[in-house]
Amino acid sequence: MRCCTRFVSTDSIRNSRLLVNGQEVLLFRTADGYAATCPQLPGVWSQGATEEEALTFVAEAIEAYFRRVSVPGESPPRS
């Protein structure tokens, strides 16, 4: 389940910084919808037609990242 808290809106074109699953996420408005990235976790990003869709997908990517790094002998994903 995704936990999302908007803590700073950075400008008027809907670029935002949020907390998703306890991780900082940057949300950007694009020509096709929204893109979301988690700068502190290499390779964790997503996109969606709506803000909610992009945040749902990036939450899944964050969960997948931590599942991967919790497997013994596995390296974290790289960007």
Residue 78 in any domain: the answer is no
In the structure, what pLDDT confidence band is assigned to residue 21 with cuts at 50, 70 and 90?
confident
Residue 76 in any domain: the answer is no
pLDDT digits (tens, 9 = 90+) for 32-79: 999 999 999 999 999 999 999 999 999 999 999 998 877 666 665 555
Residue numbers of the domain that contains 54: 4-69
Residue 8 in any domain: the answer is yes
Look at the pTM and tell me if it is higher than 0.85: no
Helices (H) and strands (E) in the chain, counts: 1, 5
Number of domains in the chain: 1
- Is a pLDDT exceeding 50 seen at residue 5? no
Residue 36 in any domain: the answer is yes
Q: Which residues contact 68 (CB under 8 A, 6 or more apart)?
A: 74, 76, 77
Q: For 13-25, what is the mean pLDDT?
A: 83
pLDDT at 9: 47
